[in-house]
Structure 1
């Protein structure tokens, strides 16, 4: 059995996922609820033929230089900004992703965040738990989806799925994307960015994190938004300048902010902050914040891990899976 390739699973996985490698590879698996410390991960990866990588893993050129046996990184991810794909390719390491299994659950969460923020669900829950609820009062009036204009910035697979999810709510959906694909379904009206930001009562981000999109939602972008509009971020934390968002909330121009992702998660940034902007944490009536739940649906996570494992095994068998990036 020692001649079988060694696969390292960097974060906790399902039993079914680990069973896929039985008889086909040896595995070293992280069974903890938290990522391994960087030195532990590197010690395992340095002797590995393959990695199943997750969001918390930072795989850069220096990391790859310490992994001479590595042949494939099977990312249980759609976005891969935490992996230096160019450096991996230059070293003969195949990087695979999971292109579409995260799309629908992320879109559903985006709609959930929108409703939770617009309808003051978190603030209402907090009020109930404080005690003293005696029945209806004329308070917590919010923004519903019916009759609202929702703008989706970034109209790739996630943006399109968000528009489809919104189709039954009676809202007008606008979308903007610099790389608009004319063949996509027309669940949204195509508009320019200035029309979208000036018209949307609710603005949802659906962009990947790239050097061009990092910090795109800053002071100028926020000023261009309709006064009192809500901003929803289920995509990547570093699309947003969190301090600028806090300023806009404090100043009253931004009506609310809901996020499932935060800049402190974005390992590709050398200057990533160590924690979430503290003012956002204290604004409990204007924010809804969730701990990266976008794909946290049991069957979706099983399918994601299965896809990543299957891609790893295909590469180790000398194949090039469709999920390979290069």
Structure 2
């Protein structure tokens, strides 16, 4: 079987080369995104694999279906760059990737500790030989309440990590996880907002939760709350977050993903002018840790995502059920 692989990044190349032999599959490598123009490169292929750089809308899915390509995988956990409803209507099977949750869960707790101990300011001072302690007094996790929104695989792993710190953990989710009994108390969202010293997001992006963290939600939180987002940027209204940081309502933010990051994330911008003013403004806050959407980025996770991207298409084309299919 032939699979056309779009959006290939440098670190994926050796993985794809090894898997091509291991899975006995013919790959058509394309470093650019899947578009109406580049779809022709997938001629004769039984499936396509992409990353988030490809925006797969209904017209593109219609063109795929007309070309007889009925299997599409994304080598990412999230699949909001694919019109999944249109794909279902057109008979195109969509698959997303899987990796063990430790990478993002560990990164989330790291963000909390960096902000609690004001490590960004400390490191910047040390670079210019300023070893003063003014303004560096921090807090300890054991004396705080952490609110975890979403207790899927990653949210549950965060809670298990936090259980070793001795802090109180509140959780809110559509489907509570019974295995977390004794480690977290499930509460309504408003209670989580009002009682948590730290709020961390671990839900997929949907139409229903777009900008769930807006001015109203931030106003319900404790003054000085720390907000962590290693999930999806569009969960937070950036302008509302900026206003809350300016007023002190939010005491710190760990942001690994921003709602508008196209053209910047995973790119060496260099001397090119960045027109994303919100990104630049957020970066300058001493109590904001802003990273390049790389909480997922470990050797173990990247290999798992590439493998899912190929194996799901292979299994799906053979009628073998796969847990990675988007339902």
TM-score under structure 1 length normalisation: 0.87
State how far apart, in whole Å, the 1-side matches of 2:5 and 2:33 are. 12
CA change 1:41–1:255 in 2 (3 A) is farther
Give me the CA root mean square deviation. 2.4
Query: Who is 1:307 aligned against?
Result: 308
| Equivalent in 104, 122, 125 of residue 123 of structure 2 | 125
2:220 matched to 1:219?
no
1:81-160 pair list within 5 angstroms: 81-99=80-98, 101-129=99-127, 131-133=128-130, 135-160=131-156
State how far apart, in whole Å, the 2-side matches of 1:97 and 1:318 are. 17
Contact 1:102–1:295, Cα closer than 8 Å, also in 2? no
| Equivalent in 164, 173, 181 of residue 176 of structure 2 | 181
| Equivalent in 246, 249, 273 of residue 250 of structure 1 | 246
- Structure 1 range deviating more: 165-174 or 64-73: 64-73
Report the 3-state secondary structure (helix = DSSP H, G, I; strand = E; otherwise coil) of the residue aligned with 1:247: helix
Matched length: 310
Gaps of 5+ in 2: 264-274
State how far apart, in whole Å, the 2-side matches of 1:245 and 1:296 are. 25
Contact 1:8–1:44, Cα closer than 8 Å, also in 2? no
State how far apart, in whole Å, the 1-side matches of 2:126 and 2:161 are. 30
Contact 2:210–2:235, Cα closer than 8 Å, also in 1? yes
Report the 3-state secondary structure (helix = DSSP H, G, I; strand = E; otherwise coil) of the residue aligned with 2:289: strand
Report the 3-state secondary structure (helix = DSSP H, G, I; strand = E; otherwise coil) of the residue aligned with 1:296: coil
Higher helix proportion, which one?
2
| Equivalent in 154, 158, 164 of residue 160 of structure 2 | 164
CA change 1:61–1:119 in 2 (3 A) is same
State how far apart, in whole Å, the 1-side matches of 2:104 and 2:193 are. 22
Contact 1:214–1:240, Cα closer than 8 Å, also in 2? yes
TM-score under structure 2 length normalisation: 0.86
State how far apart, in whole Å, the 2-side matches of 1:50 and 1:199 are. 48
Q: Report the CA distance between 1:40 and its aligned residue.
A: 5.9
Tell me which stretches of 4 or more aligned residues in structure 1 moved more than 6 Å: none
Q: Report the CA distance between 1:239 and its aligned residue.
A: 0.4
Report the 3-state secondary structure (helix = DSSP H, G, I; strand = E; otherwise coil) of the residue aligned with 1:146: helix
1:277-288 pair list within 5 angstroms: 277-278=278-279, 280-288=281-289
2:293 matched to 1:292?
yes
